[in-house]
Amino acid sequence: MIRHLFTLIWNRRRANFLLVTEIFLAFVVLFIVGSTLVYYRQTYQAPLGFDYEQVWTVNLDNGSTPQTRVQLMTTGQQILQRLQSLPGVRYAALMASNTPFSDSQNSTEPSREPKGHGPNCNIYVVSEGMRDVLRLPLRAGRWFDKRDEASSRRAVVISEEMRATLFPDQSAVGQTLYSGGGRELQVVGVTGPFRGDGDLSEPKPAFFAYASPPDTTLMYLNCLLVRVSPDAGAELEKRMSTEIMAIGKGWTSSITPLAEERAKQLQTGLAPLVALVLVCLFLIVNVALGLFGVLWQTISQRRAEIGVRRAMGATAGAVSGQVVGEILVVATFGLVLGLLVAAQFPLLGVLDVPAGVYLTAMGLAAALIYGLTVLCALYPSRLATGIHPAVALREE
């Protein structure tokens, strides 16, 4: 039977070559789109490493009044202390502008050597209360506090990815790092993975640097993260804005829940993925119409052949199986060529995703092609089984 199928396919090699090419191209596109979707699905399902619910971002703007860095830091600390005392505010902390989901980044390359270069890391300059605001888990050591204010080395808490990169075989607590500017950093604790860049970003080494009140060498911390009670609403938001304007003359603020910023970032990040899926669906529909049209034409051209087979005793199931078997063999040729191309992606690191993503995408693309092929062949194969031998031979 298989030999007979190959003979029939070879006899129609010109038409089948076009089908093989179409299926090959469709598989490659499905594989690329599938790899992208599988990767982002796995990334989305990975834990963020912090709790963003009931957390508000407060962006501060000191206006056009000239102020020194010391004045800015002093006013920021006063605002922080005042907001912490408001009913409905549980915890608050100062932070630089690269807050979670803000699409703002601040990176450096800390090293274990004074003049070395380590991995590119996200740095978050924060005040003491950030652990309580974001509910950051500690895996080793402690969080920085007032005990670290007198130290000549800035206290930092590093993420698990950073620890695995810089200290793979030893404890990181108590170790010394050197920032890009040459300043010494002392690791006092290790937290879990932290993905402040958002749900669609892969885990990246990161660390939190202590912004102690007496330290005037830091950048201006122009944001606050505030954890509020579940029943907090517009009234608390209005009071926070009023207190900020009362302390910082001419200062303004904008308050946004982190959950809203996350939703906005997700919407922006998913837009190109949705467009990619729509293009892929358009391709699948065109491939399906092409397969259906070719099979319909094939059945019309081979009515006499099918009539002879039915006259010689072939059952309806055998005729239907032949039609479906032929198109599956053609699809297999296209898939083999596509798999040969897809196998080069993990070897060359084309999309820079884990090898498991490529394998999953290959399986999904192949299953979709086979499923589409069978679906398109069902109705034409049923038409073939309905051909009456006497009618087909009289027409011939």
3-state helix, strand, coil in the chain (%, to 5): 55, 15, 30
Question: What is the spatial distance between Cα 159 and Cα 137, in angstroms, rounded to a whole number?
Answer: 10
Same domain, yes or no, for 71 and 117? yes
Of the candidates 191, 221, 250, which is a domain's last residue? 250
DSSP letter at 148 equals: G
Q: Which residues of 208-242 are buried (b: 16+ CB within 10 A; e: fewer)?
A: bbbbbbeeeebebbbbbbbbbeeebeeebbeebbe
Q: Are 160 and 75 contained in the same domain?
A: yes
Is 279 in the same domain as 381?
yes
Within-domain flag for 281: yes
pLDDT tens sequence for the chain (396 residues): 455 555 555 555 566 777 788 888 889 989 999 999 999 999 999 899 999 999 999 998 887 766 777 777 888 888 889 999 999 999 999 998 889 998 888 888 888 888 778 888 999 999 999 999 999 999 999 999 988 888 888 899 999 999 999 998 889 999 999 887 678 899 999 999 999 999 998 888 999 999 877 666 555 678 899 999 998 888 999 999 998 888 887 788 899 999 999 999 999 999 999 999 998 888 888 888 877 777 766 666 665 555 556 555 556 556 666 667 777 887 888 888 899 999 888 888 777 788 889 999 999 999 998 888 888 777 666 655 555 554 444 445
| Distance from the first to the final alpha carbon of the chain | 26
Q: Which two tokens stand for residue 174?
A: 């108590």
Residue 99 has a CB neighbour count (10 Å cut-off) of: 22
Among candidate residues 199, 40, 198, the one with its CA nearest the CA of residue 105: 198
Total count of domains within the chain? 2
The verdict on 92 and 36 lying in the same domain is no
**Does residue 285 lie in a domain region?**
yes
Instruction: Flag whether 258 is in a domain.
Output: no
Among 221, 250, 279, the domain-final residue is 250
| DSSP codes joined into one string, 160-187 | HHHHHHH-TTS--TT-EEE-TTS-EEEE
| 241 and 342 housed in the same domain | no
SS3 call for 139: strand
The reply to whether 84 and 119 lie within a common domain is yes
- Return d(Cα 339, Cα 342) in angstroms, integer: 5
Same domain, 119 and 146: yes
- Its domain, for residue 227, covers 63-250
Q: Is residue 217 part of a domain?
A: yes
- Please state, in angstroms and rounded to a whole number, the distance separating the CA atoms of residues 244 and 251: 7
340 within some domain: yes
Asked whether residue 93 falls in the same domain as residue 218, the answer is yes
Those residues whose C-beta lies under 8 Å from the C-beta of residue 279, and which sit 6 or more positions away, are: none
Is there a domain that residue 261 lies in? Answer: no
8 A C-beta contact, residue 204 and residue 121: yes
In a domain, residue 77? The reply is: yes
Q: Which residue has the tokens 């059945």?
A: 299
Dist. CA 1–CA 347, nearest whole Å: 38
Same domain, 120 and 246: yes
Same domain, 242 and 97: yes
The verdict on 180 and 287 lying in the same domain is no
Rounded to the nearest angstrom, the gap between the alpha carbon of residue 357 and the centroid of all alpha carbons in its chain is: 12
Dihedral sign from CA coordinates of 235, 238, 240, 246: negative
Q: Which of 250, 285, 312 is the endpoint of a domain?
A: 250
Q: Are residues 226 and 93 in the same domain?
A: yes
How far, CA to CA in Å, does 325 sit from each of 5, 6, 24, 268, 381?
A: 7, 10, 18, 44, 10
* Position 31 in a domain: yes
Query: What is the C-alpha separation between 2 and 322, in angstroms, rounded?
Result: 10
Residue located via tokens 């603020």: 253
